Structure 1
């Protein structure tokens, strides 16, 4: 996050971490070319070659079941899982509650030197572009075509609170709805020092209401409309995205039509031609 002074690489190297874990740095395994990413936005979906090179160094093959976790509970790990899914790697899970829950429940950890796995062979695949929305195609579809949901808090969405990124105006994409990622998670407490997903029933109630009700949710399940998730930079939109997958799985295992607006609000609000709406979400 832009206001954080934590260093993920240093923290991972020092430990504790899950035994054999490797650090998947979403800001390094990303689109960094200035001609493609002129706004220097963080953790944008990388090229096939960048993704392939990273996972090969981790010893990952197409048959590897990848488990992604973070140090908060549920925060950045869904974005990691989304990245793997976008490159067609379906064997990926998120560790609900992350490292702090693992430790709290007595899971084994390691510290010290990070192990180096044997380099694997990972054939170049293709990016599933249906999973991604860009600045060129967000907010320009008829309202009946896509459901855009914003994962930021209500103050930033309404324009009443400033963005954490200096110089960036707050507000929201016209016509977008509101699905704050924190509403999908349990709060961390001294007894449970991690966030985790709420129950399937609670998730369903929240997600279905956010998309506009049962009929709209069925359209997402049936592929008639897409639910597109946005946030500040495309990170916590992953929490919304994963919640939708969990609800769809509980609703019979359908594959919902979902995507993440990759550059999210930072990219949208950085463009002078973007229309910025203020106020509460429409009911």
Structure 2
């Protein structure tokens, strides 16, 4: 991988890297929102060779206060220490994967880019694609080669906080990655209120994938995202979801499509809806 690392890597290319003995950190981000211990159990039962387990709550989120969302971003300094603990330095090649169509791998990919780390890619299709390609699995825990905290660099991605978003509602373009029924406010299994942020459009993150769990080709993603852009500019787009995880899937899809520059609202609906003074839209 180079400083212009493509956002995806396929299973065959990853097998070649491993066979060549290339210096590499592989991160398994598999997770289950309904059973937060399931991802780690599954990892211990079988994971890509040498893969380290990354837990959404412990490693990719800060402590919850009740008003900052279900998966609040840690500080960049805290995540820099986490990245160092996993053996990641600026020159380190990183591949992230999960078992859920990149639902959580996209969050780790985005967060590493948030640190300023360029050489990171998501395994297209995740563990199922690896198995289909004949890839072997290992079991048991893997010990990382810990380093010093990652030296903070200029972020490669942008963020928007709740105050900024509130001040500019109706300007730019806001895209919600949740399932359509949650976006419309028909159901809300997780957060304080049902509905969506006023003015948002809905792009369910699973619509980025083919039936086999791999991402759609770049040209198809581009054709599907371009009508959602404000004045045709990705830089005017902010993404959110329930807790700031699957919005990263849409950001990854736009990167694949050659539409970089959109921002993330990390607190997402779980933070927004926790404040009853903020406006809510339904339908």
The answer as to whether partners of 1:139 and 1:173 remain within 8 angstroms in 2 is no
1:27-86 per-residue CA deviation (whole Å, 9 max, x = no partner) reads: 11245356xx45363332212332122222212111001111001222111111000000
Cα distance in 1 for partners of 2:68, 2:169 equals 29
Match in the other structure for 1:10: 41
Are 1:164 and 2:189 counterparts? yes
Cα distance in 2 for partners of 1:196, 1:130 equals 23
- What aligned pairs does 1:137-156 form with structure 2 within 5 A after superposition? 137-141=164-168, 143-144=170-171, 146-156=172-182
CA pair 199-259 structure 1, distance change in 2 beyond 3 A: same
Match of 1:47 among 75, 79, 90: 75
1:163-204 per-residue CA deviation (whole Å, 9 max, x = no partner) reads: 1216x22211111111111211123xxxx4xx1211222111
Structure 2: any 5+ residue segments left out of the alignment? 1-31
Match in the other structure for 2:152: 125
Are 1:278 and 2:266 counterparts? no
Match in the other structure for 2:55: 25
Q: Which moved more, 1:130-139 or 1:240-249?
A: 130-139
Cα distance in 2 for partners of 1:33, 1:278 equals 29
Cα distance in 2 for partners of 1:230, 1:41 equals 12
Are 1:209 and 2:236 counterparts? no
Structure 1: any 5+ residue segments left out of the alignment? 250-255
Match in the other structure for 1:253: none
**Match of 1:56, SS?**
helix
1:90-142 per-residue CA deviation (whole Å, 9 max, x = no partner) reads: 11100010011101210121112x22132223443157396212221224315
**Match of 1:82, SS?**
helix
CA pair 33-180 structure 1, distance change in 2 beyond 3 A: closer
Match in the other structure for 2:123: 95
**Match of 1:274, SS?**
coil
Cα distance in 2 for partners of 1:275, 1:232 equals 16
Are 1:61 and 2:108 counterparts? no
The answer as to whether partners of 1:150 and 1:177 remain within 8 angstroms in 2 is yes
The answer as to whether partners of 1:2 and 1:164 remain within 8 angstroms in 2 is no
**Match of 1:94, SS?**
strand
1:202-243 per-residue CA deviation (whole Å, 9 max, x = no partner) reads: 11111112225xxx23x32xxxx4211111111111110001
The CA RMSD measured in Å over matched residues stands at: 2.2
**TM-score w.r.t. length of structure 2:** 0.81
Cα distance in 1 for partners of 2:157, 2:102 equals 24
Cα distance in 1 for partners of 2:33, 2:60 equals 17
CA pair 261-129 structure 1, distance change in 2 beyond 3 A: farther
Are 1:108 and 2:112 counterparts? no
Match in the other structure for 2:24: none
CA pair 123-69 structure 1, distance change in 2 beyond 3 A: closer
